[in-house]
Structure 1
């Protein structure tokens, strides 16, 4: 775990994992958006579901999915949300609502811009942001640099 940036009371953390059981929320008790950047390791549907469940239980309220097969990650988060809240009354759903987007074939810079500047919604004004790298890949530094650039207001 490393700090990418701190600015205006917000902190941006980067975490790399190779397996779902390696994930633990760096923000216990806090809500946060998460940029899931998939580097194409061997995560199947069960592993994606397990990680999506852990993210939601850990406080993720916006999942921005980028990298290889990012739509699969988007769908896993949506499916886990539905499984866990299918029978909840509407009032309860408002409190736990999760937004998701996927950014197929988009650059790290474009996804970083969206993640930093467009993930607050409704009553959520986040001050903790997680960049979660799933698997190993060359793009780790590019993704983190893009998030840093927009978090610090460089070239915006």
Structure 2
């Protein structure tokens, strides 16, 4: 497995993985499959080309099997913080260490940027494997966002976590 930052040249592989994640795990993402499947490929390329966020991809041969995005805060009073979003590993590769390696590289990237003191993320409250991974890496739960997402008539809670570097 190889992990490296994604750029616009990876837009098609990223789009395929992203749409898979949104379609099969809608409660894990604020975006919806219906919204993003209509986007042109250029929009995915633009998402991977911005200078204010970093998306890492895990590759097995030529297949993108996982991603995670690190977004450093830009406002002066928040520059000591970053957020991890859009973490996803294909189901058949879960338990292989891919998620851990993606997270470790995202954390290392945050440390390397300088000035980042804490990293935030949210995880579905019922996603015990993900919560165990995040806690093993040093994240701590600090609250819940009750009814964070509403899909049709069902609400989904998120657990809020932080890691102090």
> TM-score, normalised on structure 2?
0.33
Q: Which has the larger radius of gyration?
A: 2
